[in-house]
Chains A and B, each alone.
Chain A
Amino acid sequence: MEQKPIIQVKNLKKSFFLPHQRHDSLVEFLSNPLRLFKPAGEQFTVLKDIDLDIHQGEFVGIMGRNGSGKSTLLKIMAGIYTPTSGSVKVTGKMVPFLELGVGFNPELTGRENIYLNGIILGMPKDFLKKKYQEIVEFSELEKFMDMPLKNYSSGMQVRLAFSIAIMADADIYILDEVLAVGDLAFQKKCFDVFRNYKEQRKTLVLVTHSPASVREFCDRAVFLKDGVLQIDGSVDEVVKAYEVG
């Protein structure tokens, strides 16, 4: 039986306006006020006619060179950018990990940052209170919770961020190069988390440059080149295309 896709991208087009010269000072504005409404520039099309259906339980890898439109596609799925034309329909709760530790503040302690970042990711405060111990244990940073984040090493920061992010309970996770962080031992734990997601039939969309992670996790992959979805098929096919360039 064919299930309805959980993410449905139809005819998606996205273009950005690139002004030839930024008009953001008052003198320029006053010298020709109408230019604010019609500045000189050009439309730059980042995504062209993308069609993509993702079903529940699928782990889909998105590959492509820098500037091929991968991150833009994720941002549209996450509702941060709006499509120029076409549509993206998402059914179910989605948590985007476009970056780890969104809203982290170096002046706040680890504990305060857990609540700040967790709430930004859409977790209720009561829920975070219950999960607090679990987050701290996963991050292995028990001793540093009352220390300002600026005194953490960058590896510790991403470990904390990752530990918060995985608490988010969602049907769909969108990852932009945040698959595994920290040292080897911690990376192993990260991979276990994703294996667990797979068993729970969660859906995962992953942008990555690592053929190994795509091979390890994804059932399916797509290849983007210059904003065009060139291949939608097996992992092997896409990795081969990515390696050729």
Chain B
Amino acid sequence: MSNYLELLKEFIKTDFQLRYKNSYLGLIWIVLKPLALFGVIYTVFSNIMAMDDDYMMSLLLGIMFITFFSEGVMMGLGSLMAKSGIILKIKFPREIVVFSSVTIGFIDFLINMIVFAVFTLFTPVVITLPSLLLFLVAIFSFYFLIMGMSLFLSVMFIKLRDLHNLMQVVLQLFFWATPIYYKLEMLPEKMQGIILLNPLTKILIAVRHGLITGGDVGLKDFISLAPITLVCILILFLGILFFRNKVTKIAEYF
């Protein structure tokens, strides 16, 4: 058991190192990519409409949030395939490769949180102890959701190679269907209802509430997040079941 933990750590460590090997900026790309996207959207939108500091920070946090989602899901999707050489030669719990890929996405997100913290030095945000707790619950639910989805996708990808392209489109859809660069209140009421059906919306609302406007976080915020958290845990659980069931034969399909 402890050896599998070491294997997980080793996969995370080496894959993390290797991702930007041979590029000049190296790991700086982890923060540069979301920041660049932020710069573009901020420039465009600040010329279209009036913006307050809260909007700026919401946008920044939203972009870091959705980057975690898209990178995490894409890395998770390709994780089994990327390790096929090892899977064909050594027996070990295959979940480890999915866990390590998604966790790299999570580490990227945490690194981006440092950049966010630097921004807060110049732009005031309100963070309290309950709001920090709300953020943690939301972000771990999100981590579970990404992990659950990856467990499904990584197995399906072996048989259905189109999934890679399909997911890129789906992730675009998620980007626009989550209030990242717009505020939910800007939309007509009917539209708001649709956007709220997207679980990412509610998680992002909780994340922002936790790290930007945390003054009035109370029990009601946790209660409204609870169903989403449960759904995320359920998806993770189903993902594990599906994965365990399908993965025993996976070596034959590479």
Contact = CB atoms under 8 A, between A and B. Distances in A.
Given A24-B159, A107-B18, A107-B22, A79 B91 contact: yes
A96 B89 contact: yes
Interface string A115-137: 11001111111000000000000
Contacts of B89: 80, 96, 98-99, 102
A96 B90 contact: yes
Contact of B162 (A26, A80, A102, A121): A26
Interface of B is mostly: helix
Contacts of A105: 14, 18
Contact of A78 (B91, B159, B160, B248): B91
Given A119-B10, A120-B90, A124-B2, A103 B252 contact: no
A147 interface: no
Nearest to B161: A24
A102 B85 contact: yes
B88 interface: yes
Interface in B16-35: 17-18, 21-22
Given A26-B160, A124-B2, A124-B3, A102 B14 contact: no
A116 B14 contact: yes
B251 interface: yes
B161 A119 contact: no
Interface string A63-83: 000000000000100111110
A108 interface: yes
A16 B253 CA distance: 10
B166 interface: yes
Band of interface residues on B: 20 to 34
A25 interface: yes
Contacts of B88: 75, 80, 98
Contacts of A116: 10, 14
Contacts of B251: 75, 80-81
A112 interface: yes
B208 to A, nearest CB: 36
A6 B183 CA distance: 66
A81 B6 CA distance: 24
Nearest to A122: B3
A105 to B, nearest CB: 7
Contact of A103 (B2, B85, B91): B85
Interface string B33-67: 00000000000000000000000000000000000
B86 interface: yes
Nearest to A16: B252
Nearest to A102: B89
Nearest to A94: B91
A105 B7 CA distance: 15
B149 to A, nearest CB: 18
Contacts of A103: 85-86
Nearest to B86: A103
Nearest to B10: A119
Contacts of A119: 3, 6-7, 10
A125 B60 CA distance: 40
Contact of A82 (B3, B160, B248): B248
A96 B18 CA distance: 26
Given A24-B162, A119-B10, 11 more contacts: A26-B160, A26-B162, A79-B91, A98-B90, A102-B89, A102-B90, A107-B18, A107-B22, A108-B18, A120-B90, A124-B2
8 contacts: A29-B162, A98-B88, A98-B90, A107-B22, A112-B14, A115-B10, A119-B6, A120-B92
Closest 6 CB pairs between A and B?
A: A26-B162, A79-B91, A102-B89, A119-B10, A98-B89, A24-B161
